Structure 1
Amino acid sequence: MNLEQHAIHKLYQYRKAISTRPYGARGKKLIRCEQCLLAQQYCTCQSRRQLVSDNTFLLIMYDDEVLKPSNSGRLIADLIPDTHAYIWSRTQANRKMLALIQDPRYQPFVIFPGEYAYPEQTVVSEVKPTGLDSAKKPLFIMLDGSWREAIKMFRKSPYLHDLPLLSFTPETVAKYGLRKGSREFQLGTAEVAVLALEASGEKGNAEALSIWFELFIASSMFSRSRQSNKDISSLNRLSEAFKQQVRATSEV
Protein backbone atom coordinates (compact mmCIF):
# COMPACT_ATOMS: atom_id res chain seq x y z
CA MET A 1 0.00 0.00 0.00
CA ASN A 2 1.25 3.50 -0.88
CA LEU A 3 1.67 5.48 2.33
CA GLU A 4 3.73 8.32 0.93
CA GLN A 5 3.82 11.54 2.89
CA HIS A 6 1.35 14.20 1.81
CA ALA A 7 1.53 17.98 2.16
CA ILE A 8 0.50 18.14 5.82
CA HIS A 9 2.88 15.35 6.82
CA LYS A 10 5.71 17.37 5.27
CA LEU A 11 4.54 20.62 6.88
CA TYR A 12 4.35 18.86 10.24
CA GLN A 13 7.95 17.66 9.94
CA TYR A 14 9.09 21.16 8.94
CA ARG A 15 7.22 22.88 11.79
CA LYS A 16 8.49 20.31 14.27
CA ALA A 17 12.08 20.81 13.08
CA ILE A 18 12.00 24.58 13.69
CA SER A 19 10.33 24.32 17.10
CA THR A 20 12.44 25.33 20.06
CA ARG A 21 10.57 22.94 22.37
CA PRO A 22 8.21 19.97 21.98
CA TYR A 23 4.55 20.78 21.46
CA GLY A 24 2.67 20.06 24.70
CA ALA A 25 -0.41 18.30 23.37
CA ARG A 26 -2.92 16.58 25.60
CA GLY A 27 -1.75 13.03 26.12
CA LYS A 28 1.83 14.04 25.37
CA LYS A 29 3.12 10.88 27.02
CA LEU A 30 1.40 8.72 24.42
CA ILE A 31 3.53 6.96 21.84
CA ARG A 32 2.00 8.37 18.67
CA CYS A 33 2.16 7.49 15.00
CA GLU A 34 4.20 10.18 13.24
CA GLN A 35 1.69 10.41 10.38
CA CYS A 36 -1.83 10.29 11.84
CA LEU A 37 -0.66 11.44 15.33
CA LEU A 38 -2.98 8.94 17.00
CA ALA A 39 -1.76 6.50 19.64
CA GLN A 40 0.15 3.79 17.81
CA GLN A 41 -2.25 1.03 18.83
CA TYR A 42 -5.14 2.99 17.26
CA CYS A 43 -3.27 4.20 14.18
CA THR A 44 -5.50 4.50 11.09
CA CYS A 45 -2.77 4.75 8.46
CA GLN A 46 -3.24 1.22 7.10
CA SER A 47 -6.86 2.10 6.30
CA ARG A 48 -5.98 5.28 4.44
CA ARG A 49 -7.00 5.44 0.78
CA GLN A 50 -6.74 8.27 -1.74
CA LEU A 51 -9.83 9.30 -3.67
CA VAL A 52 -10.25 10.43 -7.26
CA SER A 53 -11.29 14.08 -7.07
CA ASP A 54 -11.57 17.05 -9.42
CA ASN A 55 -11.05 19.46 -6.52
CA THR A 56 -7.98 21.07 -5.00
CA PHE A 57 -7.65 22.10 -1.37
CA LEU A 58 -5.35 24.73 0.10
CA LEU A 59 -5.01 24.78 3.88
CA ILE A 60 -3.55 27.95 5.36
CA MET A 61 -2.63 26.88 8.87
CA TYR A 62 -2.11 29.05 11.93
CA ASP A 63 1.41 28.62 13.31
CA ASP A 64 1.33 25.49 15.51
CA GLU A 65 -2.01 24.12 14.25
CA VAL A 66 -0.23 21.48 12.19
CA LEU A 67 1.39 20.11 15.38
CA LYS A 68 -1.93 19.43 17.12
CA PRO A 69 -3.02 15.77 17.17
CA SER A 70 -6.61 17.04 17.24
CA ASN A 71 -6.25 18.87 13.92
CA SER A 72 -8.64 17.44 11.33
CA GLY A 73 -7.17 19.29 8.34
CA ARG A 74 -4.74 16.43 7.78
CA LEU A 75 -7.71 14.17 7.04
CA ILE A 76 -8.37 16.14 3.84
CA ALA A 77 -4.82 15.53 2.65
CA ASP A 78 -5.18 11.86 3.61
CA LEU A 79 -7.87 11.43 0.96
CA ILE A 80 -7.67 14.25 -1.61
CA PRO A 81 -4.44 13.94 -3.67
CA ASP A 82 -4.25 17.58 -4.76
CA THR A 83 -4.03 19.15 -1.29
CA HIS A 84 -1.57 21.90 -0.35
CA ALA A 85 -0.69 23.29 3.06
CA TYR A 86 1.25 26.35 4.24
CA ILE A 87 1.81 28.07 7.57
CA TRP A 88 0.19 31.50 7.67
CA SER A 89 2.33 34.61 8.04
CA ARG A 90 0.89 38.04 8.73
CA THR A 91 3.85 39.90 7.25
CA GLN A 92 5.11 37.71 4.41
CA ALA A 93 2.80 35.39 2.52
CA ASN A 94 4.41 32.29 1.04
CA ARG A 95 5.22 32.89 -2.63
CA LYS A 96 4.33 29.35 -3.70
CA MET A 97 0.99 29.68 -1.94
CA LEU A 98 0.24 32.97 -3.71
CA ALA A 99 1.24 31.45 -7.04
CA LEU A 100 -1.22 28.60 -6.46
CA ILE A 101 -4.04 31.03 -5.67
CA GLN A 102 -3.25 33.06 -8.80
CA ASP A 103 -2.82 30.03 -11.07
CA PRO A 104 -5.23 30.53 -14.02
CA ARG A 105 -6.13 26.84 -13.99
CA TYR A 106 -8.03 27.28 -10.73
CA GLN A 107 -11.15 29.04 -9.55
CA PRO A 108 -10.38 29.85 -5.92
CA PHE A 109 -13.02 29.95 -3.19
CA VAL A 110 -12.30 31.05 0.37
CA ILE A 111 -14.55 28.96 2.58
CA PHE A 112 -15.70 31.44 5.20
CA PRO A 113 -18.98 32.85 6.55
CA GLY A 114 -20.48 35.46 4.25
CA GLU A 115 -21.12 37.86 7.10
CA TYR A 116 -17.37 38.58 7.18
CA ALA A 117 -17.16 39.51 3.49
CA TYR A 118 -15.65 42.83 2.50
CA PRO A 119 -17.98 45.33 0.72
CA GLU A 120 -16.96 44.38 -2.84
CA GLN A 121 -16.38 40.70 -2.12
CA THR A 122 -18.56 38.12 -3.86
CA VAL A 123 -20.36 35.60 -1.65
CA VAL A 124 -21.61 32.37 -3.22
CA SER A 125 -23.35 29.28 -1.94
CA GLU A 126 -22.47 26.98 -4.83
CA VAL A 127 -19.26 25.97 -6.55
CA LYS A 128 -20.23 26.92 -10.10
CA PRO A 129 -22.21 30.16 -9.74
CA THR A 130 -23.06 32.45 -12.65
CA GLY A 131 -20.30 34.95 -13.37
CA LEU A 132 -17.41 32.73 -12.30
CA ASP A 133 -15.39 30.49 -14.58
CA SER A 134 -16.98 27.07 -14.21
CA ALA A 135 -14.40 25.51 -16.56
CA LYS A 136 -11.63 25.97 -14.00
CA LYS A 137 -10.79 23.50 -11.28
CA PRO A 138 -12.17 24.55 -7.86
CA LEU A 139 -9.50 25.57 -5.35
CA PHE A 140 -10.97 25.46 -1.86
CA ILE A 141 -9.02 27.71 0.50
CA MET A 142 -9.46 26.85 4.16
CA LEU A 143 -8.18 28.82 7.15
CA ASP A 144 -7.13 26.16 9.63
CA GLY A 145 -6.97 27.19 13.27
CA SER A 146 -9.27 28.14 16.12
CA TRP A 147 -12.20 30.36 15.21
CA ARG A 148 -10.45 33.44 16.63
CA GLU A 149 -7.30 32.58 14.68
CA ALA A 150 -9.27 32.02 11.47
CA ILE A 151 -10.85 35.47 11.75
CA LYS A 152 -7.41 36.99 12.30
CA MET A 153 -5.98 35.18 9.28
CA PHE A 154 -8.83 36.31 7.07
CA ARG A 155 -8.75 39.94 8.14
CA LYS A 156 -4.98 40.28 7.89
CA SER A 157 -4.57 38.53 4.52
CA PRO A 158 -5.42 41.11 1.81
CA TYR A 159 -4.79 38.55 -0.96
CA LEU A 160 -7.97 36.75 0.18
CA HIS A 161 -10.25 39.80 0.07
CA ASP A 162 -10.74 39.84 -3.71
CA LEU A 163 -11.63 36.16 -3.91
CA PRO A 164 -15.19 34.83 -3.75
CA LEU A 165 -16.33 33.45 -0.41
CA LEU A 166 -18.05 30.08 -0.40
CA SER A 167 -20.43 30.33 2.53
CA PHE A 168 -22.64 27.52 3.82
CA THR A 169 -26.00 28.24 5.41
CA PRO A 170 -27.11 26.70 8.73
CA GLU A 171 -29.68 24.74 6.70
CA THR A 172 -26.89 23.17 4.62
CA VAL A 173 -24.98 22.23 7.75
CA ALA A 174 -28.05 20.72 9.38
CA LYS A 175 -28.97 18.79 6.22
CA TYR A 176 -25.64 16.97 6.22
CA GLY A 177 -25.93 16.15 9.93
CA LEU A 178 -22.55 17.52 10.93
CA ARG A 179 -21.66 18.48 14.48
CA LYS A 180 -21.76 22.21 15.24
CA GLY A 181 -19.93 24.47 17.66
CA SER A 182 -21.50 27.30 19.61
CA ARG A 183 -22.34 29.08 16.34
CA GLU A 184 -23.81 27.46 13.25
CA PHE A 185 -20.71 27.85 11.10
CA GLN A 186 -18.18 26.58 13.64
CA LEU A 187 -17.28 23.20 12.24
CA GLY A 188 -14.10 21.19 12.21
CA THR A 189 -11.89 21.70 9.16
CA ALA A 190 -12.63 18.23 7.80
CA GLU A 191 -16.38 18.78 8.31
CA VAL A 192 -16.24 21.96 6.24
CA ALA A 193 -14.37 20.05 3.53
CA VAL A 194 -17.22 17.52 3.50
CA LEU A 195 -19.61 20.37 2.66
CA ALA A 196 -17.27 21.65 -0.06
CA LEU A 197 -17.06 18.23 -1.70
CA GLU A 198 -20.83 17.91 -1.50
CA ALA A 199 -21.29 21.36 -3.05
CA SER A 200 -18.97 20.41 -5.93
CA GLY A 201 -21.05 17.35 -6.75
CA GLU A 202 -18.64 14.78 -5.29
CA LYS A 203 -21.17 13.20 -2.94
CA GLY A 204 -19.35 9.88 -2.71
CA ASN A 205 -16.12 11.59 -1.75
CA ALA A 206 -17.99 13.73 0.77
CA GLU A 207 -19.40 10.61 2.41
CA ALA A 208 -15.96 8.95 2.45
CA LEU A 209 -14.40 11.96 4.19
CA SER A 210 -17.28 12.06 6.66
CA ILE A 211 -16.67 8.42 7.64
CA TRP A 212 -12.91 9.01 7.76
CA PHE A 213 -13.58 11.90 10.16
CA GLU A 214 -15.78 9.65 12.33
CA LEU A 215 -12.98 7.08 12.48
CA PHE A 216 -10.53 9.82 13.45
CA ILE A 217 -12.79 11.03 16.28
CA ALA A 218 -13.40 7.51 17.56
CA SER A 219 -9.69 6.62 17.44
CA SER A 220 -8.84 9.87 19.21
CA MET A 221 -11.26 9.04 22.02
CA PHE A 222 -9.74 5.58 22.41
CA SER A 223 -6.29 7.19 22.50
CA ARG A 224 -7.35 9.46 25.38
CA SER A 225 -9.03 6.75 27.43
CA ARG A 226 -7.08 5.02 30.20
CA GLN A 227 -9.27 1.95 30.22
CA SER A 228 -7.54 -1.34 29.49
CA ASN A 229 -8.80 -4.24 27.39
CA LYS A 230 -10.82 -1.95 25.16
CA ASP A 231 -13.25 -3.38 22.63
CA ILE A 232 -12.15 -1.81 19.33
CA SER A 233 -14.87 -3.42 17.23
CA SER A 234 -16.39 0.03 16.65
CA LEU A 235 -13.12 1.18 15.08
CA ASN A 236 -13.01 -1.89 12.88
CA ARG A 237 -16.58 -1.26 11.71
CA LEU A 238 -15.81 2.36 10.80
CA SER A 239 -12.63 1.33 9.01
CA GLU A 240 -14.53 -1.24 6.95
CA ALA A 241 -17.33 1.24 6.22
CA PHE A 242 -14.75 3.72 4.95
CA LYS A 243 -13.12 1.14 2.67
CA GLN A 244 -16.51 0.10 1.30
CA GLN A 245 -17.40 3.73 0.58
CA VAL A 246 -14.10 4.26 -1.25
CA ARG A 247 -14.72 1.15 -3.34
CA ALA A 248 -18.26 2.25 -4.13
CA THR A 249 -17.08 5.72 -5.12
CA SER A 250 -14.34 4.37 -7.38
CA GLU A 251 -16.88 2.22 -9.23
CA VAL A 252 -19.17 5.14 -10.10
Structure 2
Amino acid sequence: MSRPHCPRCLRPTTHCLCALIPHLDSRTRVLVLQHPSEVGHALNTARLAALGLNNAQLVVGEVFDDLPMLLNPPGYRARLLFPADDAEPLHAYAPDDQPLLLVVPDGTWRKARKLLHLNPLLAALPRVTLADGGVSRYRLRKAPGPGALSTVEAITQALQVLEAPTSFEPLLKPFEALIEGQIAAMGAEVFQRNHSDPT
Protein backbone atom coordinates (compact mmCIF):
# COMPACT_ATOMS: atom_id res chain seq x y z
CA MET A 1 0.00 0.00 0.00
CA SER A 2 1.44 3.37 -1.03
CA ARG A 3 1.88 6.23 1.40
CA PRO A 4 -0.60 9.12 1.22
CA HIS A 5 0.75 12.09 -0.73
CA CYS A 6 0.02 15.81 -0.56
CA PRO A 7 -2.07 16.69 -3.64
CA ARG A 8 -0.30 20.06 -3.98
CA CYS A 9 3.44 19.41 -3.64
CA LEU A 10 3.07 15.67 -4.40
CA ARG A 11 5.36 14.78 -1.49
CA PRO A 12 4.41 12.09 1.06
CA THR A 13 2.13 13.85 3.56
CA THR A 14 4.68 13.18 6.32
CA HIS A 15 7.22 15.20 4.28
CA CYS A 16 4.90 17.86 2.82
CA LEU A 17 6.77 21.02 1.79
CA CYS A 18 3.78 23.34 1.34
CA ALA A 19 4.50 25.32 4.51
CA LEU A 20 7.88 26.32 3.02
CA ILE A 21 6.60 27.25 -0.45
CA PRO A 22 6.38 31.05 -0.84
CA HIS A 23 3.83 33.08 -2.83
CA LEU A 24 6.06 35.45 -4.81
CA ASP A 25 4.98 38.02 -7.35
CA SER A 26 7.13 38.54 -10.43
CA ARG A 27 7.01 40.86 -13.39
CA THR A 28 8.28 37.94 -15.49
CA ARG A 29 5.83 35.19 -16.40
CA VAL A 30 7.35 31.69 -16.11
CA LEU A 31 6.11 28.79 -18.24
CA VAL A 32 7.60 25.43 -17.30
CA LEU A 33 7.16 22.65 -19.86
CA GLN A 34 7.80 19.45 -17.96
CA HIS A 35 8.66 16.13 -19.57
CA PRO A 36 6.31 13.45 -18.17
CA SER A 37 9.27 11.44 -16.81
CA GLU A 38 9.96 14.25 -14.29
CA VAL A 39 6.54 14.21 -12.62
CA GLY A 40 7.34 11.29 -10.30
CA HIS A 41 10.93 12.40 -9.64
CA ALA A 42 11.77 12.66 -5.95
CA LEU A 43 12.87 16.28 -6.30
CA ASN A 44 10.49 17.63 -8.98
CA THR A 45 11.90 21.12 -8.44
CA ALA A 46 9.94 22.52 -11.40
CA ARG A 47 6.73 21.96 -9.44
CA LEU A 48 8.22 23.73 -6.41
CA ALA A 49 9.09 26.72 -8.61
CA ALA A 50 5.65 26.87 -10.23
CA LEU A 51 3.89 26.63 -6.86
CA GLY A 52 6.08 29.37 -5.37
CA LEU A 53 5.46 31.93 -8.13
CA ASN A 54 2.07 33.56 -8.60
CA ASN A 55 2.86 34.35 -12.25
CA ALA A 56 3.91 30.84 -13.29
CA GLN A 57 2.37 27.86 -15.07
CA LEU A 58 3.49 24.23 -15.22
CA VAL A 59 2.38 22.13 -18.19
CA VAL A 60 3.28 18.43 -18.45
CA GLY A 61 3.68 16.69 -21.79
CA GLU A 62 5.87 15.85 -24.76
CA VAL A 63 3.87 17.51 -27.54
CA PHE A 64 2.00 20.68 -26.60
CA ASP A 65 -0.92 21.25 -28.96
CA ASP A 66 -1.83 24.55 -27.31
CA LEU A 67 1.72 25.94 -27.61
CA PRO A 68 0.72 28.90 -29.84
CA MET A 69 -1.61 30.12 -27.07
CA LEU A 70 0.83 29.31 -24.23
CA LEU A 71 3.65 31.24 -25.91
CA ASN A 72 1.64 34.38 -26.60
CA PRO A 73 0.15 35.78 -23.39
CA PRO A 74 -0.74 39.45 -23.93
CA GLY A 75 1.95 41.87 -22.80
CA TYR A 76 4.91 39.46 -22.78
CA ARG A 77 7.72 38.52 -25.19
CA ALA A 78 8.61 34.83 -25.12
CA ARG A 79 12.19 33.66 -24.59
CA LEU A 80 13.47 30.10 -24.14
CA LEU A 81 15.86 29.55 -21.22
CA PHE A 82 18.15 27.04 -22.89
CA PRO A 83 21.80 27.10 -23.99
CA ALA A 84 22.72 27.90 -27.59
CA ASP A 85 25.60 29.62 -29.35
CA ASP A 86 23.34 32.57 -30.13
CA ALA A 87 21.61 32.70 -26.73
CA GLU A 88 21.62 36.16 -25.16
CA PRO A 89 22.74 36.50 -21.54
CA LEU A 90 19.91 37.68 -19.31
CA HIS A 91 20.14 41.21 -17.92
CA ALA A 92 17.98 43.39 -15.69
CA TYR A 93 14.89 45.00 -17.17
CA ALA A 94 15.08 48.62 -18.16
CA PRO A 95 12.06 50.58 -16.86
CA ASP A 96 10.24 50.53 -20.21
CA ASP A 97 11.10 46.92 -21.21
CA GLN A 98 8.25 44.58 -22.02
CA PRO A 99 8.47 41.71 -19.50
CA LEU A 100 9.50 38.23 -20.59
CA LEU A 101 7.55 35.04 -20.78
CA LEU A 102 10.43 32.82 -19.64
CA VAL A 103 9.89 29.36 -21.13
CA VAL A 104 11.77 26.66 -19.19
CA PRO A 105 11.94 23.05 -20.40
CA ASP A 106 12.16 20.64 -17.45
CA GLY A 107 13.85 17.27 -17.83
CA THR A 108 17.27 15.76 -18.30
CA TRP A 109 19.28 17.47 -21.05
CA ARG A 110 18.29 14.64 -23.41
CA LYS A 111 14.58 14.90 -22.56
CA ALA A 112 14.65 18.71 -22.78
CA ARG A 113 16.20 18.50 -26.25
CA LYS A 114 13.48 16.02 -27.20
CA LEU A 115 10.82 18.55 -26.14
CA LEU A 116 12.43 21.09 -28.47
CA HIS A 117 12.62 18.55 -31.31
CA LEU A 118 8.94 17.56 -30.92
CA ASN A 119 7.74 21.17 -30.65
CA PRO A 120 9.25 23.26 -33.50
CA LEU A 121 7.58 26.44 -32.19
CA LEU A 122 9.52 25.98 -28.97
CA ALA A 123 12.81 25.39 -30.77
CA ALA A 124 12.24 28.53 -32.86
CA LEU A 125 12.03 30.87 -29.85
CA PRO A 126 14.90 33.30 -29.25
CA ARG A 127 17.07 31.85 -26.49
CA VAL A 128 18.42 33.37 -23.31
CA THR A 129 20.99 32.00 -20.93
CA LEU A 130 22.29 32.46 -17.42
CA ALA A 131 25.72 33.83 -16.63
CA ASP A 132 28.45 31.19 -16.41
CA GLY A 133 29.57 29.91 -13.06
CA GLY A 134 26.28 29.08 -11.33
CA VAL A 135 26.88 26.41 -8.69
CA SER A 136 24.08 24.02 -7.80
CA ARG A 137 23.09 23.55 -4.17
CA TYR A 138 22.05 19.98 -4.93
CA ARG A 139 24.73 18.15 -2.97
CA LEU A 140 23.49 14.61 -3.62
CA ARG A 141 24.54 14.33 -7.23
CA LYS A 142 27.57 15.61 -9.07
CA ALA A 143 26.51 18.17 -11.65
CA PRO A 144 27.29 17.13 -15.24
CA GLY A 145 29.20 20.38 -15.71
CA PRO A 146 29.59 23.96 -14.51
CA GLY A 147 26.35 25.88 -14.59
CA ALA A 148 24.22 22.71 -14.40
CA LEU A 149 21.40 23.77 -12.08
CA SER A 150 18.12 22.22 -11.03
CA THR A 151 15.04 23.82 -12.61
CA VAL A 152 14.10 25.79 -9.49
CA GLU A 153 17.69 27.07 -9.18
CA ALA A 154 17.78 28.15 -12.84
CA ILE A 155 14.43 29.95 -12.53
CA THR A 156 15.51 31.65 -9.28
CA GLN A 157 18.79 32.81 -10.81
CA ALA A 158 17.04 34.10 -13.93
CA LEU A 159 14.51 36.11 -11.92
CA GLN A 160 17.24 37.50 -9.65
CA VAL A 161 18.97 38.89 -12.76
CA LEU A 162 15.86 40.12 -14.58
CA GLU A 163 14.17 41.73 -11.59
CA ALA A 164 17.17 42.90 -9.52
CA PRO A 165 17.26 43.97 -6.74
CA THR A 166 14.16 41.86 -5.85
CA SER A 167 15.17 38.63 -4.11
CA PHE A 168 13.68 35.29 -5.15
CA GLU A 169 15.78 33.29 -2.66
CA PRO A 170 12.62 32.10 -0.80
CA LEU A 171 11.90 29.89 -3.84
CA LEU A 172 14.86 27.73 -2.79
CA LYS A 173 13.65 27.07 0.78
CA PRO A 174 11.58 23.95 -0.01
CA PHE A 175 14.35 22.69 -2.33
CA GLU A 176 16.93 22.98 0.45
CA ALA A 177 14.58 21.29 2.93
CA LEU A 178 14.14 18.45 0.45
CA ILE A 179 17.90 17.97 0.20
CA GLU A 180 18.32 18.13 3.99
CA GLY A 181 15.57 15.50 4.33
CA GLN A 182 17.31 13.18 1.87
CA ILE A 183 20.63 13.60 3.69
CA ALA A 184 18.94 12.88 7.03
CA ALA A 185 17.28 9.77 5.57
CA MET A 186 20.57 8.33 4.31
CA GLY A 187 22.43 9.22 7.52
CA ALA A 188 25.32 11.63 7.98
CA GLU A 189 27.94 8.89 7.71
CA VAL A 190 26.70 7.63 4.34
CA PHE A 191 26.41 11.21 3.06
CA GLN A 192 29.96 12.05 4.17
CA ARG A 193 31.33 8.90 2.58
CA ASN A 194 29.54 9.24 -0.75
CA HIS A 195 28.71 12.86 -1.36
CA SER A 196 30.84 15.32 0.55
CA ASP A 197 33.76 16.99 -1.18
CA PRO A 198 37.13 15.60 -0.13
CA THR A 199 39.31 18.39 1.27
Superposition TM-score tier, normalisation by shorter sequence: 0.7 to 0.9
Q: Deviations over 1:100-148 (max 9, x none)?
A: 3123411111111124xxxxxx521024689xxx632211111111121
Measured at CA, do residues 41 and 158 of structure 1 come closer, stay the same or move farther in structure 2, by a change above 3 Å?
A: same
Measured at CA, do residues 98 and 127 of structure 1 come closer, stay the same or move farther in structure 2, by a change above 3 Å?
A: farther
User: Does residue 106 of structure 1 match 2:68?
Assistant: no
Gaps of at least 5 residues in structure 1 are 1-27, 116-121, 228-252
Which residue, out of 101, 104, 110, partners 1:148?
110
1:72 CA drift (Å): 0.5
Q: Deviations over 1:66-115 (max 9, x none)?
A: 2333210011122111111222334xx331x4213123411111111124
Distance 2:93 2:17 in 1: 37
**More divergent stretch after superposition (33-42 vs 73-82):** 33-42
Query: More helix per residue: 1 or 2?
Result: 1
Measured at CA, do residues 166 and 34 of structure 1 come closer, stay the same or move farther in structure 2, by a change above 3 Å?
A: same
Measured at CA, do residues 99 and 128 of structure 1 come closer, stay the same or move farther in structure 2, by a change above 3 Å?
A: farther
Q: Match of 2:71, SS?
A: helix
User: Does residue 94 of structure 1 match 2:94?
Assistant: no
1:30 CA drift (Å): 4.1
State the aligned residue count: 185
Distance 1:154 1:164 in 2: 12
Equivalence map 1:1-252=2 (5 Å): 29-90=2-63, 93-95=64-66, 97-115=67-85, 122-127=86-91, 135-171=97-133, 173-174=134-135, 178-179=137-138, 181-222=143-184, 224-225=185-186
- Using structure 2 for the length normalisation, give the TM-score: 0.77
Gaps of at least 5 residues in structure 2 are 189-199
Distance 1:33 1:178 in 2: 25
Q: Deviations over 1:199-223 (max 9, x none)?
A: 212454321123332123223444x
Q: Match of 1:170, SS?
A: coil
1:150 CA drift (Å): 0.7
1:42 CA drift (Å): 2.6
Q: Match of 1:205, SS?
A: coil
* AA partner of residue 124 (structure 1): E
Measured at CA, do residues 37 and 49 of structure 1 come closer, stay the same or move farther in structure 2, by a change above 3 Å?
A: same
Distance 2:160 2:112 in 1: 22
Distance 1:31 1:38 in 2: 9
Distance 2:155 2:6 in 1: 24
Runs of 4+ in 1 over 4 A off after TM superposition: 127-130, 177-180, 224-227
Which structure has the bigger radius of gyration?
A: 1
Q: Deviations over 1:43-85 (max 9, x none)?
A: 2213333012112111111123223332100111221111112
